Structure 1
Amino acid sequence: MARMTWTFSPERVDTPDATALRRDYYDDVASRYWKRPATRAEIDGGLTNDGVELLIPPTGQFLVARYEGKPAGCGGVLLLDEGRAELTRVFLRHAFRGLGGAGALLGNLEDAARGLGARRMVLNTRLDLVEARALYTRHGYGEIPAYCTGPYMDIWYGKDL
């Protein structure tokens, strides 16, 4: 049997695949938060002025994950200062979960952060995003004090790279 493969590549956030993945990410997290499907207008609003333009070198990086060539997930890293990068918008479409892509995506995002000069990765998330929290702790992230504030932030994690 042929082995299914994952690939991870830097991509501009405005390509068709990256845009569709970003929309799916926002739909997933917003719908879970509101406990109802997000509307198209809410997704559009959430993606407006969301700072993704910084996810290009030298300030950051955005990666698209593909499984057997199909766009399956995404994630970004954003430099916060000389030594720290923030993990953001980490997402795998539901159909591709359980295939080993999440950990590989996380590893590639950590490599991207190192390539930008970061020595530490930090992130914030919500308590209800239990799969994400399990992924981070499984890969060595530990709870840290809050380094930022916002309405959708319940817990913060960090890891030395």
Structure 2
Amino acid sequence: MSKSPNSGITVSTAEVDAAESVVLLREYFAEMTARYIGRQPTDSEIESSMAEDPSTDLSGDTGRFLVARVNGRPVGCVGLRHYDEHTGELTRMFVVEPSRRQGLGASLLRAAERAAVELGMGAIRLDTRGDLVEARKLYADNGYEEIEPYSDALYADHWFEKRLCGMNSSQASRKIPRTAY
């Protein structure tokens, strides 16, 4: 488990089907759906979104699911999956509304980058929507560069990548137990 310089913030792996993970993923899908359709989604619309884009590949041998906590309370998450042999794909980046603008997004990104290096990934890619302006700023501010589309994801408008090989040892090379990032 890594402790952020921001007091009380920790980021660690979690099973994607654990109760706290499911709650965070449900909130993520509710917000993404609401922002896309311009209204609060129904429970059935949230369930449909979750079923159409499952998160099962974010654990075990195929990826990692990381949860950020403030004083033990889950407040954010990010998923990392293998895109190809040497590249990871970041997904499900989310911080609950009351906990935003406190450095949690950057803490989640750093933890995902450390996990990616540990998994042998030399780069991380991601896609995001045009309306997620704050997410695009977070990625750019943390060294992610906009690239040409690498996928035909239905809702993607922007694609980013960060090469990890240039990370120094304190950022990436230290050995971290699989269950704690």
Among residues 29, 38, 44, which one is paired with 1:35 in the alignment? 38
- The answer to whether structure 1 residue 133 and structure 2 residue 120 are counterparts is no
| Runs of 4+ deviating beyond 6 Å | none
What is the DSSP-based 3-state SS (H/G/I as helix, E as strand, rest coil) of the residue aligned with 2:160? strand
Consecutive unaligned residues in structure 1, runs of 5 or more: none
Among residues 84, 88, 93, which one is paired with 1:90 in the alignment? 93
- The answer to whether structure 1 residue 15 and structure 2 residue 18 are counterparts is yes
The structural deviation recorded for 1:49 is 4.9
The structural deviation recorded for 1:114 is 1.1
Consecutive unaligned residues in structure 2, runs of 5 or more: 1-5, 165-181
Q: What TM-score do you get using the length of structure 1 for normalisation?
A: 0.95
Count of matched residue pairs: 159
- Which whole-Å CA distance do the structure 2 matches of 1:133 and 1:143 have between them? 9
- The answer to whether structure 1 residue 112 and structure 2 residue 115 are counterparts is yes
- Which whole-Å CA distance do the structure 1 matches of 2:105 and 2:116 have between them? 16
Identity among equivalent positions (%) equals 40
Structure 1 vs Structure 2 CA RMSD? 1.1
- Which whole-Å CA distance do the structure 1 matches of 2:106 and 2:76 have between them? 12
- Which whole-Å CA distance do the structure 1 matches of 2:62 and 2:7 have between them? 33
- Which whole-Å CA distance do the structure 2 matches of 1:57 and 1:80 have between them? 15
What is the DSSP-based 3-state SS (H/G/I as helix, E as strand, rest coil) of the residue aligned with 1:80? strand
